[in-house]
Amino acid sequence: MTTAASTPTRQPRGGLRSWLLIALLGGPLVAWAQAAPGGADIERVRAATQKLIEQMVEQGLLTRARAELLLKDLDAPVAAAAAPVAAAAGTAAAAAPAPAPVRVSYIPEFVRQQLKEELRGELAVQAARDGWAGPNSVPAWVRGIRFEGDLRTRFQQDEFDDGNAPALSVTDTNRARAVTLANTTVDRQRLRVRARLGATITADANWSGGIRLSTGSATDPLSANQTLGTYGNRYTVTFDRAFIRWRATPTMNVVLGRFGNPWVSTDLVWANDLSFDGAAWQWTPDLGRFGRGFVTAAALPVQEVELAGDKWLYGLQAGVQWPGSGLLSGRVALAYYHYANIKGRANSAGSSLQDSSAPAFAQKGNTYFNISSDPARPLLALAADYRIVALTGNLDLRTFGDKRLGLTAEIARNVGFDANEVSARLGTRVDAQTLGYQLRLSLGDAEMDAAGKWQAFLAYKRVERDAVLDAFTDSDLRGGGTDLKGYSLGGSYGLGRHSSLTLRWLGADALSGAPLSLDTLQLDLLMRF
């Protein structure tokens, strides 16, 4: 075996692979040939090796001059191996042959280094040819896009009480211009799905934006659920987020467009899936040892009306959030929500000029009156103003391990309700029922982002008839709306990374209106990404 004692010269391109192939293939073949019992086997191996070298020359992997050197080197070990084999053939009855020597092919360091450089160069050429992404080759705006979304399937069962009274569907009555009743007696089972896909785009330190696609109805702002069983049509997909955000300073930003809930709140005032149109401004000053403050102001169009005053929501909220010592954290916020032009206006005889004052969407519970001048074509509108003061707070206590005990409370009152004005509008005495509150207790993990994590929860809610606007409050408890008292309980369990199963039971009754009780079971399978 020869050694590389002298300084090696750089091999021509392609030679490295030939040396490697000879070392890996030719070496073991020759070693086997030297251990073979017959000279014929040696000749067969030698012929196979020569053929391999000739094929490498034909494919351009090896130059002719290099091939001649390899063939010359190949003759020496074969000849050396033939002599002992011939001698062994003459003494067949002698002792058993010695074990064949084990040969390990050695690749010099300079060969390995040159091979690495060749492979790196070839990969770079292939990357340029095939369009692979190299460092700094992806535009900055592409690197600033972050995708997120979720998929949820739900089994829902609604069980109505046998003593329920008929209930008017405000939205369906206004659309049909005929009295339309809601279902209050027939139990219902549904399979539902919700799919949402959004992208957040960061242009630079000051400017960003976002869009989100969602399933659901184009006429229901509260829910993105799609009920299964519509084989005659595909699911409706809409944009429920489209906004631009300007971060003026690290503690101040402005958002314009259609965006998520900017308020600290529960579903007492705002449903969980509700999005908002308009503009919002937020300031989050550092209060030192008192935590971090937050102030949010927003101007949000509710309904654009061409021939009458537009309907708007103006809101202002201030609060403080403190992280505590690690065991206890919390926040508290006080908000004022002012609806403008939300109250209905009765049409004069033979006129329909005030029809636009009726709501485009409603659930149930608020006080309504008929603004139509034609008794045969009813049109229902809100009878009161809504100016809501809401106090929201939550405490989060670390109990054992990383488990958290959470308490959330919210209380809201409609200070814009004028009982005398509403009574005059309806022609009968109407008492002010303008208070609502909710308490929620939870225990377990804060996020269901891994297998084995869990959370249990219990909530109680009591919402009087005109405490909040029924169009925007929770849509699950008693089928949505106000004038109710009830509870919800359940739990969530993590099935995997960002996948969880949630079981929830909800039950509620009417407060002051006609009897209406509903129990609901929901089983959700959720996957986030």
Examine the domain organization and report whether 112 and 221 are in the same domain: no
Structural domain harbouring 85 = 15-91+100-130
Chain-centre distance of CA 119, in angstroms? 40
169: DSSP letter: -
Examine the domain organization and report whether 400 and 493 are in the same domain: yes
- Residue 356 maps to a domain: yes
- Residue 270 maps to a domain: yes
Token pair for 125? 């050429």
Q: What is the pLDDT of residue 412?
A: 98
- Residue 513 maps to a domain: yes
Distance, in Å, from the CA atom of 379 to the CA atom of 353, rounded to the nearest integer, reads 12
Q: What is the pLDDT of residue 45?
A: 63
- Residue 484 maps to a domain: yes
E strand or H helix that includes residue 156: strand 145-160
Cβ-contact 46, 144 below 8 angstroms: no
- Residue 144 maps to a domain: no
Examine the domain organization and report whether 240 and 111 are in the same domain: no
Number of folded domains that form the chain: 2
Examine the domain organization and report whether 211 and 86 are in the same domain: no
Examine the domain organization and report whether 250 and 393 are in the same domain: yes
Examine the domain organization and report whether 193 and 230 are in the same domain: yes
Residue type (1 letter), 468: V
- Which of 391, 409, 386 is CA-nearest to residue 461? 409
- Residue 2 maps to a domain: no
- Residue 1 maps to a domain: no
Q: What is the pLDDT of residue 234?
A: 85
- Which of 64, 60, 52, 66 is CA-nearest to residue 21? 52
State pTM to two decimals. 0.75
Examine the domain organization and report whether 199 and 122 are in the same domain: no
Examine the domain organization and report whether 366 and 278 are in the same domain: yes
Residues in the chain: 529
Distance, in Å, from the CA atom of 470 to the CA atom of 490, rounded to the nearest integer, reads 25
- Which of 303, 304, 330 is CA-nearest to residue 319? 330
CATH number at residue 520: 2.40.160
Cβ-contact 435, 483 below 8 angstroms: no
Examine the domain organization and report whether 280 and 423 are in the same domain: yes
Distance, in Å, from the CA atom of 168 to the CA atom of 179, rounded to the nearest integer, reads 7
Q: Which residues contact 216 (CB under 8 A, 6 or more apart)?
A: 194, 223, 224, 225, 226, 236, 238, 240
Distance, in Å, from the CA atom of 335 to the CA atom of 440, rounded to the nearest integer, reads 19
Q: What is the pLDDT of residue 39?
A: 53
Examine the domain organization and report whether 51 and 198 are in the same domain: no
Cβ-contact 329, 405 below 8 angstroms: no
Token pair for 90? 């003459």
Cβ-contact 494, 453 below 8 angstroms: yes
Examine the domain organization and report whether 156 and 289 are in the same domain: yes
| Beta strands 380-382 and 435-444, pairing class | unpaired
Examine the domain organization and report whether 116 and 170 are in the same domain: no
Q: What is the pLDDT of residue 42?
A: 63
Across the chain, which has 529 residues, the per-10-residue mean pLDDT values are 43 48 51 50 68 74 73 58 46 50 58 75 74 64 88 98 95 95 96 96 94 91 90 87 97 97 96 95 93 96 86 97 83 98 93 93 96 95 98 93 93 97 94 97 94 97 98 96 97 96 98 95 97
- Residue 143 maps to a domain: no
